[in-house]
Amino acid sequence: MKAFLILEDGTVFQGTSIGSTREVISEIVFNTSMTGYLEVLTDPSYAGQAVTMTYPLIGNYGICHEDMESSKAWPDGFIVRELSRTPSNFRSDDTIQDFLKEQDVPGIAGIDTRALTKILREKGTMNGMITTNENYNLDEVLPKLKEYKVTGVVKKVTCKEPVHMPNTGYRVALMDFGAKDNIANSLHKRGCDVTVYPALTPAEEVLASNPDGIMLSNGPGDPKECVEIIEELKKLYASNVPIFAICLGHQLMALATGADTHKLKYGHRGANHPVKDMKTGRVYISTQNHGYVVDESTLDKDIAKPAFVNVNDGTNEGLEYIGKNIFTVQFHPEACAGPLDTAYLFDRFIGMMAK
C-alpha cells in the first residue's frame, strides 16, 4: 500500500505503508543511531514525534522484547529507508512490521531518508503527516500541520502510581517524567532500593519517604510546559538530598533555579554524540534524545556552573550546582542503545549518597 509523508513546507515523499495504516500528524525528527531501533521505539521521550532513522536498513535483527525501554511504543510514527522483513538474530521474538502493527504505530518505508534529514537540518524540525490517502489535499493538510503542537506529553507517559523495586542499598526516589527502564535498572543493579514516582507527585510526599537520593528522569516535550513540576523541583532543590538528573530532568532543574531553555534547530538524537567533561577535558561518546537545551548565558554563576559541553555545537550538556549535592546531564548515561562511556555517573551518584 502506498503511503505519503507530507511536511509543513509542502514537501511530499511517497513510499510504502508499514505498521498501522491510521493517519497521523506529528513533529518529524531524525535519529542517527545505527542500532537500537527498538529502544528508540519504546523511549517515552519520543511521545508527540515521528522518528526518521538515518541508518538505511532497519529491522534486520528483529524485535527482542527484553530490550524494550518501556511497556509500549511511544512515537507517533516511524520513517525508514529500507525495512528488513526477515530478521536474522537468535534473540529475535518478532518482526518489526508486526511490532508496529501491534503497537498501532503508522510508518512509511522506501523514502529517501537522507534527503529528508537534509531538509530537517537545513530548515529545522517541522511537523508532518503520514497518510495512506492518495487523494490528500495539500491546501487542507498544510494548515493542520502548522497548527500542530506537542503538548501534555509528560502527563501522558508518566506512571500512574508509585512502583517499588526493593533492594538492600540506598533508597532512591526516581521521578518519572518519561523514564527509560534502564535508569531504574542501572540504579537497582548497583544495589539501590528504587521507588518510581509519577511526575506530579508533591515534593513533600517524596521527601517524607526519607530518600537517600533523588533521580530526575528524561521525558518528552517542552520543559517550560511543566510548570507544576518545576514548582515542586524548587522544593527538592531546597532540601539537602543528593539529586542526579538526566535530559528533561536536567532542563527542569535549570528552570527551577532561574535559568532558561530554548529549542534547538533540529535537536540531538542518536548514540554517537561527543560530550566533553569541563573538569578533566576528557571526551565521551554519548546517547542523546532531546530537542531543547539549557541556555548557559542565563545561568546564575552562584547557583550552577557548566560541567559538560557538546563537542559538535558547543551547547550545554551538564551542570554542577554550587554548594549542593546536585549534578545534571543532558545526555543518557544509562545508554540502551548506545555507548556505556558515561555509566560511571551512576557510581558518582552512589558516592554522593554515601557521603
Measuring CA to CA, how many Å separate 219 from each of 48, 51, 154, 347, 351? 11, 15, 6, 22, 25
Provide the CATH number for the domain around residue 84.
3.50.30.20
Cα of first residue to Cα of last residue in the chain, in angstroms, is: 60
Say if residue 221 carries a ligand binding annotation: yes
Output the pLDDT for position 5. 98
Mean per-residue pLDDT for 311-316? 98
Distance (Å, whole) CA 200 – CA 189: 26
- Alpha helix ranges (H) inside 67-112: 96-102
Contact predicate 29/269, CB 8 Å: yes
DSSP state of 194: E
Output the pLDDT for position 74. 98
Neighbouring-strand partners of residue 194 = 165, 172
Q: Which of 117, 150, 183 is the last residue of a domain?
A: 150
Residue 8 main-chain phi, psi, to 5 deg: -70, -10
Specify whether 193 is located in the same domain as 287: yes
Output the pLDDT for position 17. 98
Taking residue 185's Cβ as centre, other Cβ atoms within 10 Å add up to 15
Pairing of strands 24-31, 49-53: parallel
Say if residue 219 carries a ligand binding annotation: yes
Its domain, for residue 115, covers: 2-150
Share of residues in the chain with pLDDT > 70 (%)? 100
The CA R_g of the chain, rounded to the nearest whole Å, is 20
Specify whether 345 is located in the same domain as 255: yes
Output the pLDDT for position 301. 96
Output the pLDDT for position 65. 97
Neighbouring-strand partners of residue 274 = 285
Contact predicate 330/308, CB 8 Å: yes
Specify whether 221 is located in the same domain as 331: yes
Number of domains in the chain: 2
Output the pLDDT for position 294. 98
Say if residue 289 carries a ligand binding annotation: yes
Specify whether 130 is located in the same domain as 177: no
Output the pLDDT for position 59. 97
Distance (Å, whole) CA 81 – CA 111: 5
Specify whether 178 is located in the same domain as 112: no
Confidence band, pLDDT 50/70/90 cuts, at residue 259: very high
Contact predicate 51/79, CB 8 Å: yes
Output the pLDDT for position 296. 97
pLDDT tens-digit readout, 292-301: 999 999 999 9
Output the pLDDT for position 182. 97
Residue 14 main-chain phi, psi, to 5 deg: -110, 135
Output the pLDDT for position 123. 97
Mean confidence (pLDDT) of the chain: 97
Helix (H, G, I), strand (E, B) or coil at 96: helix
Say if residue 297 carries a ligand binding annotation: no
Distance (Å, whole) CA 252 – CA 199: 12
Share of residues in the chain with pLDDT > 90 (%)? 99
Measuring CA to CA, how many Å separate 155 from each of 5, 76, 197? 28, 16, 12
Considering the entire predicted model, what is its pTM? 0.97
Say if residue 200 carries a ligand binding annotation: no
Specify whether 272 is located in the same domain as 139: no
Confidence band, pLDDT 50/70/90 cuts, at residue 60: very high
C-alpha cell of residue 221 = 516535550
Residues contacting residue 322 through CB under 8 Å, at least 6 positions apart: 302, 303, 304, 305
Q: Which of 123, 150, 177 is the last residue of a domain?
A: 150
Provide the CATH number for the domain around residue 169.
3.40.50.880
Helix (H, G, I), strand (E, B) or coil at 157: helix
Confidence band, pLDDT 50/70/90 cuts, at residue 290: very high
Specify whether 136 is located in the same domain as 173: no
Specify whether 136 is located in the same domain as 160: no
Output the pLDDT for position 307. 98
Specify whether 234 is located in the same domain as 349: yes
Tell me which residues are annotated as active site.
Answer: 247, 332, 334
Say if residue 45 carries a ligand binding annotation: yes
Q: Is the peptide bond before 337 cis (omega within 30 degrees of 0)?
A: yes
CA-wise closest residue to 239 among 269, 278, 197, 206:
206
pLDDT tens-digit readout, 207-240: 999 999 999 999 999 999 999 999 999 999 999 9
Specify whether 142 is located in the same domain as 242: no
Q: Which of 112, 128, 150 is the last residue of a domain?
A: 150
pLDDT tens-digit readout, 81-113: 999 989 999 999 999 999 999 999 999 999 999
Specify whether 141 is located in the same domain as 235: no
Helix (H, G, I), strand (E, B) or coil at 271: strand
Contact predicate 355/318, CB 8 Å: no
Residues in the chain, how many?
355
Dihedral, 245, 246, 252, 255 alpha carbons, nearest 10: 80
H or E segment and range at residue 328: strand 326-329
Specify whether 255 is located in the same domain as 200: yes
pLDDT tens-digit readout, 140-174: 999 999 999 999 999 999 999 999 999 999 999 99
Q: What is the DSSP string of 227-276?
A: HHHHHHHHHHHHS-S-EEEETHHHHHHHHHTT-EEEEEEEEEEEEEEEEE
